[in-house]
Every structure is written in structure tokens, then in C-alpha cells.
């Protein structure tokens, strides 16, 4: 696959870096020449993410719900590498429960991580970027469930919709500083636990064949979009919601056959029927 960028001299913060898409983002940014501050609550997973990259990646164990921790993460970029260019707010939690069983404390935690955390990281990063006076990029994360019903996802879907709205406001307010803010909305990405729990395996077996591309996405494919948004190729892109979902948001997989049995419009098509 021929996808490459040159981020030599650039510095990025990646949240939710202990696994999955976050780990892949760290690897892709390093491969492109960037230095990275990787952060997560999971210290063991974070260490595993950072181990292959030596001193071009700095691990910071932090909780993005905390104003003090988010400030510390951004300050680490300054003290370790001298600047900040990209803030990628990948961290999120997605526990599922039926609406009638949803616990308010779980709801509050989902919003605290997914919304408050994104807000605090965006604000902290923006303050440093404005001080530097050279612009920058902020990439937030949403999900396809933000605009469609999905049983069990009341808290998660609502938090992702809120993140999209927040990102649009941030894009407007930060544009005068040449700070571009966009939101990435992944579909079904292959980050599930292995082996799959039985109920998840059953659900995915039914869901995957109906996807337009009939396969899950890979973390690397999310990374390619994020890196593009951070690149010079996206200089005129801000306030956008960018889907990387294999077409799931627009429909289901086509079987290759179109059948028109509606006789009302035969006069339009000139169709003659027996």
C-alpha cells in the first residue's frame, strides 16, 4: 500500500494510545517522522505501545477526565519535544446496556471520558498552539452510531453526537488561529477482543456480510485518514465529519441485481411487459 507522509519535526499527542487504533496512530506517526506523546490510563498497554519506538515517543499515564492531567499531557509535548503540532483525541469508552438498565453513573463516566476529555484535551492543545502562533491540527473521534439508532448504545451514541457538535464549534472558534479541527467517524474496525465472546461473534457474523465492503476496517485504515487530516493535503479542511466506515453509513452490500417490477413507470422507461 503506497500511503506515506513526512512529519519530520512535527510533534503529536495521541490519547487512548494503549491499544487498537491509538497504538496504530502512534506507529504511523513515528513512521512518518513525528515525535509523539502517547497517553492512556492503561500503563501496561501504554508501555507496550511505546516500547518499539525509543525516545521519539514519550508515554504519559493520564486520565483525560482531569483538567490537571490534560494540561500535563500537553505540557509534556512542550518539555520533551519543544512544541506541539497535532492533537489526536482518540480515547473513548463504549459500554453497552439497554436504556431501561442504563445506570446514571455509567452514563456520566461515558460522557466524562468521551466529551469532557475531548473538550479538555482540545482546550489544552489549542492554548499551546495559539501561543506558538503557527497553527495546528486537532482530530476528534466520533462513531457511526451518532446518527442512527443502535440498541444498547444510548450513552455512547449520545456522547459521540455531542463530540461532533463540539468539534464544529471548536473549528469555528479556532479557525482565526489557523488551527483546523475535524472529526473522524470510524465504522466497524477490527479492534475487538480475541477470541471473540460468543454474543459478539454472533453479532459480527450477521453484521459483516451486510457491510458494503463486506469486511471490517483495519486500524491502519483509520490511521491513514487521520494522518491525511494532519497533512498539508488537508489545509482547507476544517469542521468536517470524515467517515471511514466502508460505506456502512450509506447502505448495505448490493447483491449485483436491480429488479424493476413497478409498472407505474413503464411509460418513462418504455418497458413492455407480457
Question: Which residues are identified as catalytic?
Answer: 156
Q: Is 85 helix (H, G, I), strand (E, B) or coil?
A: coil
From CA 80, how far away is CA 93, in angstroms rounded? 28
From CA 35, how far away is CA 49, in angstroms rounded? 14
Residue 149 CB partners (closer than 8 Å, separation 6+)? 157
DSSP letter for 32, please. T
Q: Are 80 and 130 in contact (CB under 8 A)?
A: no
Count of residues for the chain?
274
Omega of the bond prior to 202 within 30 degrees of 0, cis?
no
From CA 176, how far away is CA 126, in angstroms rounded? 12
* Sheet containing 86-89, strands listed edge to edge, beginning at the edge strand earlier in sequence: 57-61, 35-40, 11-15, 86-89, 136-141, 179-186, 241-244
Of residues 92, 99, 250, 86, the one with CA closest to residue 180:
86
C-alpha cell at 106: 455509567
Pairing type for strands 86-89 and 11-15 reads parallel
Amino acid at each position: 500500500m503506497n500511503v506515506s507522509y513526512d512529519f519530520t519535526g512535527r510533534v503529536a499527542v495521541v490519547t487512548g494510545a494503549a491499544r487498537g487504533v491509538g497504538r496504530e496512530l502512534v506507529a504511523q506517526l513515528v513512521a512518518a517522522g513525528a515525535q509523539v506523546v502517547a497517553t492512556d490510563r492503561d500503563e501496561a498497554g501504554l508501555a507496550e505501545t511505546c516500547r518499539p519506538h525509543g525516545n521519539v515517543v514519550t508515554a504519559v499515564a493520564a486520565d483525560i477526565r482531569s483538567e490537571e492531567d490534560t494540561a500535563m499531557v500537553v505540557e509534556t509535548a512542550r518539555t520533551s519535544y519543544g512544541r506541539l503540532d497535532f492533537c489526536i483525541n482518540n480515547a473513548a469508552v463504549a459500554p453497552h446496556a439497554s436504556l431501561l438498565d442504563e445506570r446514571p453513573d455509567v452514563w456520566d463516566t461515558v460522557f466524562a471520558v468521551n466529551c469532557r476529555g475531548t473538550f479538555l484535551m482540545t482546550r489544552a492543545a489549542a492554548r499551546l498552539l495559539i501561543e506558538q502562533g503557527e497553527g495546528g491540527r486537532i482530530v476528534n473521534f466520533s462513531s457511526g452510531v451518532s446518527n442512527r439508532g443502535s440498541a444498547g448504545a444510548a450513552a455512547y451514541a449520545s456522547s459521540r453526537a455531542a463530540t461532533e457538535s463540539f468539534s464544529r464549534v471548536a473549528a469555528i472558534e479556532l479557525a482565526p488561529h489557523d488551527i483546523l479541527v475535524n472529526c473522524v467517524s470510524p465504522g466497524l474496525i477490527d479492534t475487538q477482543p480475541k477470541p471473540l465472546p460468543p454474543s459478539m461473534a454472533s453479532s459480527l457474523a450477521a453484521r459483516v456480510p451486510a457491510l458494503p465492503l463486506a469486511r471490517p476496517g483495519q486500524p491502519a485504515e483509520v490511521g491513514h485518514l487521520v494522518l491525511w487530516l494532519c497533512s498539508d493535503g488537508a489545509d482547507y479542511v476544517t469542521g468536517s465529519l470524515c467517515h471511514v466506515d466502508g460505506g456502512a453509513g450509506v447502505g448495505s452490500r448490493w447483491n449485483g441485481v436491480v429488479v424493476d417490477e413497478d409498472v407505474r413507470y413503464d411509460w418513462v422507461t418504455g418497458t413492455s411487459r407480457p
